[in-house]
Structure formats: structure tokens, C-alpha cells
Structure 1
């Protein structure tokens, strides 16, 4: 071999390696609040054991994430790794050819079939995002206020309203809840308390099959519960934002906060607040309980990524014990979906996670199948539930509006 060629071989090999690792891995996400966790903890943990691979977390504001991500994917300039919304939002991206199929990829073996549901095709044959975490819904309460008034966390519907009445008569705002942003009325109230009325997956699957209607008693009863709740909101609830509600509860100006488990981290930093949690109340003592244990976040690989080799190395790490430990420990209230044994250290988050042992899990009502037409059930739920809480729409009328909109486009509901 000529001497010049022998000298050039290492350089050529280096060039080939550089081509295989073309640039920094970019993670797309709507989780703006997690930026510090990714940049200071998760990414450094990965890079320590994967020298030569650089990763950048590039979040987009949640309200504009879906549209801007879709535009970047269509243009072929999205990041390599894609934070996946659950169910239909990401399924749409996969059907358009924007996400890789992940069947059999390293790390996927660490997830039970039930954990994959939110990121699979309807027939369950193809998986397009790796599950990361779920969130759980329930109620947080101020232990000091409860102790002062000799109140116990309620277990049933009537227990719940008895507690609210005692609080109201004591001059304490019972519920830290506003309706200005609409989404809370649906995602933190209706799909929080509703599963105990429509029996979780049983009711949701009956709607999908066309065997139940949103005007049936269980769905109306959930709206009636919500309507009763409206009588225990603070003054000006119709103009009260999510941030306002958080501040109100953190400062001890309200006793109970309808919550997603992600709220626990925020309130654990509130000075002087002794935080407790209770599950959504069941209809009566002895009834089975159901919780909204909603699959929240997955990660997929862009089909047009220019650095798939490294992207799949990162994805395999997301499926590891190390990632699950760090993510669950540092991001309080987000619970890993992997099979790894994880210690949830925050006592309130741990309590919420333990509801899975006694209650059946379900997902938000319109997350799968039921929001695929117009009018959008998700949008309808936001508007209608806010009106029910505000007292401007009766539960029966709300149910009729939901059902009429649903039946306009969903054939199984047109029988």
C-alpha cells in the first residue's frame, strides 16, 4: 500500500465517523418547565457514559408546540427526538410519516403492553414513541385547615360535599379553582371525578363502541357533581387563572385544590403549607374506585433525523433504570411507565402513586378516538365544563350538547 494512502486511512476513517454522527442531537418538547432538569441533570447523566454525543433540549411553549412541531416535521428541520403527546396527537404524526416505528428497538422491552397503549396504532401492532411518564389526578388539601376544623379527607360524594359545606360556613374558601383558562374544568375536574361515575375504562370503551351515550346517567351524574362543586368556588372564579388558583392554595386562602400530580412539586415549595392528598370520591361507601392515571409523555425519533444512530442510543437510555430513577425522583408527580422498581420519595406523590394499588386506572375521556372529528370533543369539554362550574349551563343541557356534537361525526353514535 502506498505510504500516502496509509497515512490518509485514519483521516478517512475519522471523516466517516463524523458523517455517522452528524451534529448535536436535538430534543423537541412542550415541557418548558423541565428545561433545567434536562440541561443540568438528565443530559449530563447521558453524556457521561456516551462521550462524543452532544444533546440539546429545545422546548416550545405548550400552546404552540403541536402546530410548530408539525410545521418543522413537514419541512424536514425538526429535532432528532420528539416529545410525544399521548394517543391521537402523536398517532397523527406517525400516520403522516414523521416518526419512526420503534418495535423491537433497545429499551422498549422495559415497558408492559399496557404502557405502550398511548403510542400505538389502533390495532396495537406498531409502536412509534417510547413511554416516559404518566400523571395522576386527585385532590390536594391543607392539613392545617382540616385539623383546625376536625375534618377528615372525604371518601364518598356526600362526604366530599359535607366537608365543603363545613369549610364554607367557617368562612374559608373551600376550593382553589378558577375557570378562566377552561382546560382546568375539563382535565382537572371532569376527567378527575368522572371515572368513578362511568367506571373508568368501562364507560370510555362503551362510548367508543357506541353502547353508551354522553346523555346516559353516569355521564350526567358527573356533570351534576361538577355543578354542585361550582357553589364552593371563591369569588371571581370565572376570571381566576390557573396561576391564581395555585397562589390561592399555596397561601392558605383555600382548603382544597383539584390537582394533577405535577402540582405536588410546586406546592412542596410553599412555606408553611402542610400538604395532603385524597383520591376522587366514590359515589358511596363500598364502591370500586377509579383514577385518571393519564399517560402524559413519550419520546419518538424523527424519521428525517440525520443522526439516527445516536438518537437510538439516547432512546435506549430513556428506557433504562438510570433514566427512570432520575426522572421520577427529580420531576415530582410524573411517574415512570417502565417496569423498573422506582422509589417515589416525595410523600404526597408517593401517596398518589399508591392509589394505583387500590383503584383501577383510566385515561382522560377524549384522549383516544373520541376527539377525531368536528366539533372537537376536547374543545367542547373545555367550554361546557367551565360553564357548568360557573352555573351558566345545566348538567342535562351540557350532556345533550356534548352528545349532539359527538353524534354529528362518530358513526357508532348514530345508531
Structure 2
């Protein structure tokens, strides 16, 4: 009898354990500022539908992510799911065998070829990360300041400078909050923001990759000429102004316009906390009636560690990541990160609505340096940071900056030789 009872207890314990057995998935990411959103919103929604799968979001510091991730992958200690940067960094991981091929994942049907292009092989034959979101470039402005000065958001380049001149003449606000100390923002929020207007978005970007255009041609030099004009509107000491300095100037109400990426929405809104209302306007066109272009840059995706022991559960999570449910959750939890899912997503944040509305009237493109053109040395992306900052500071002419970038690209990229 005693042995029978012991066996029954053992059996019931084993059954209870089986009933609560869970697979634990770990997500590697550089988005450490998203930790609470994943823990409180995204993961609970998935786990409610999949109680047998537990998910842990385990981010690294953004600047350290690539090195940390590569070390973990080499050591065999990386998580099951890998947050993917766009283009070459993730393509390199796929080519090394670190990311699994997800081409056959059914949810991939929910994304356009453009949405998937940042996480595909050059020939498009394999897709290795599920697209999550893009960011859009433009200008965020202080609506209160504009109303005080009787200004309306500019649509053309001439109107843009008229607005800047009026703000400068009034003297109560710095016209634009941007510095050049960190360099990257001079390229990302300035050159890549307004540049597509001049090189005609995808037409120019693809022509550069094909070797059919050069960086010394008018469409690529004119954006630098525009940046050279910005110097007069950035306020005293902008040369030593860091990215956080610029953010603070705007959120404290001291600057009227902020050349922006949409990711700032989630940062600015709680900091401003109703002190003033924000609006956004798209990069101005050269002349009324011209085609509008925006940088709608594929930014973040999620892939599968090819060595994951939990591949089946990980693919279940990735299938959910490609769903309209995830797209709606993510876009509203992180306003300014716009869904790449083909299913339209309704967003509640008014500033995010401003940015995403441009998709209906402007031609989208991605940052010109991200695909293929920064694989060699000198790296075109990093060189564009420096060139943009130099042009704004006035230490390099637009023509000299363009010549230097072209020379560097032609030194290693065969189609440009």
C-alpha cells in the first residue's frame, strides 16, 4: 500500500510538472529603453495566448550591442531571438550562419518587398529577420512658438528659410536645435532628412549603388549646400552642442524647430509633459508642386539564432511578431516606430499620426548609405557623419565634402571606379 501511495504521488507530481512545463525564450536587443514596454505590454500579450512559452527580454547598451552579441554568438550563449539592425550588420550574421533563414515563415507574407529588403540577401532569395518597424525623418516644431509668431509649417524650401528668419528676428527662440559635436545627427537628421528631395529618393539611391550616379553630382551636392545655410539658425555654440543638449533645448521650450527622427516622439512627450504642443512637418520640397520625399527608414526586425535549442517555440513567437496584433501593440506602445506590416495600424498618438500621414503624399526611401555602400573602408556612413558636420560648421565646402566622399567610395566600390 505504501509503495502504491508513493507511486501515485510521484505520478501526480510528474503530471503537474508536465502541465506547467514551459519553454523559455530570450530576446537579445539594443533597445534597453524599451525594457518596460516589453515586460508590461508586449510579452504579456504573447504569453496569454501561449502559456507554454515564457519570454525574457534581455537588452544590452546600444553602443555595445554588436560586440556583445557577436561574442555571445561565438561562445554559444546568445539568446534564442536576435533583434536585427538593418542591412549589412544582420546580413553578415546570416552569412556567418548565426541567423536562420526565415523565408518560409508564413507571416512573411504580411510584408512588402521593400519592408523585407533590409533583412534579405542582396539577391532577395533569403529573408532572415521579421520586419518590426521603421522610423521617419522630418521636423518637429513647437506649435505654441509658431502661434505666438504667427507662423505656419513650411512646405517649400523658400518658406522654410522665411520661417527660420522670422524666428531668428524675434529673438525669443533658437530657430533650430541641432549641434555638430556628435556628428551622426548632422548626417542622420540633416543630410539624410532633406537629401532625398534632391537625389529623388530611391531613384538616386539605387543609381548610386549601380554606379550610374556619383556623389559629386548635383543631386548629392545640393543637400550639403542647404546644410551650409543652417549654420546661421542653430544658435551660439552649436559646434560643441551634443545630441542630448539639442534634445534639452527643444523640450525646455528654448528652440522652435528640431530636425528629427520619429523616435523622438516617445522621448519628448513625457519630458514636455504638456508645457507646449508639438507638431511635425515633412522635409520641404524645392518648389510648390514638386514630389515630396521622406526617409522612411527600415530600422528594426527580429531574427532566430540558428543555434537556438528552442527553434520551434522561437518560430511561434516570430510568427506572432509578423501579425497585425503585434503591429498594433508595438506601434502604439512605441509611438514613432511605425509598423512595416502591410495591414494598416491605427495609432493614437497625434504626433505619430502627423509623421505617418506623409506616407500617403510622399515617396518613401531609406538612408542612402545603409545598403551595400558602407561595407568597405572608408565607411561611407561614418564619413557622411563627418562631412555633414564639417559642412554645417563651415570647415569644409559642400563641393569638397562631396568630392572626398566620392573618392573614398570609389577607392573600394567597383561600380564607382
TM-score by length of 2: 0.94
Deviation at 1:10, TM superposition (A): 9.2
| Cα displacement string for residues 116-151 of structure 1 (whole angstroms, at most 9, x for unaligned residues) | 111111111100000000000000111111112111
| Cα displacement string for residues 245-292 of structure 1 (whole angstroms, at most 9, x for unaligned residues) | 111111111110000111112222213121111000111111111100
RMSD, matched Cα: 2.0
Match of 1:176 in 2: 177
- d(CA) in 1 for partners of 2:313 and 2:106? 12
- d(CA) in 2 for partners of 1:370 and 1:357? 29
| Cα displacement string for residues 87-117 of structure 1 (whole angstroms, at most 9, x for unaligned residues) | 1111111000000000121422221222111
Alignment of 1:2-401 (within 5 A): 24-171=24-171, 172-269=173-270, 270=272, 271-401=274-404
Q: Larger deviation: 398-407 or 45-54?
A: 45-54
For the residue of structure 1 that corresponds to 2:151, the secondary structure is coil
For the residue of structure 2 that corresponds to 1:258, the secondary structure is strand
Q: Larger deviation: 145-154 or 133-142?
A: 145-154
- d(CA) in 2 for partners of 1:233 and 1:90? 36
- d(CA) in 2 for partners of 1:127 and 1:334? 21
Checking the alignment, whether the CA contact within 8 Å between 1:267 and 1:275 is kept in structure 2 is no
| Cα displacement string for residues 207-240 of structure 1 (whole angstroms, at most 9, x for unaligned residues) | 1111110000111100000110122111111221
- d(CA) in 1 for partners of 2:14 and 2:278? 61
Checking the alignment, whether the CA contact within 8 Å between 2:373 and 2:380 is kept in structure 1 is yes
- d(CA) in 2 for partners of 1:14 and 1:25? 22
- d(CA) in 2 for partners of 1:128 and 1:395? 38
Task: Write out the 4+ residue segments of structure 1 that deviate beyond 3 Å after TM superposition.
Answer: 6-19
Checking the alignment, whether the CA contact within 8 Å between 2:182 and 2:242 is kept in structure 1 is yes
Deviation at 1:16, TM superposition (A): 9.3
Deviation at 1:332, TM superposition (A): 0.5
Q: Could you tell me which runs of 5 or more consecutive residues in structure 1 were left unpaired when the two chains were aligned.
A: none
Aligned length: 408
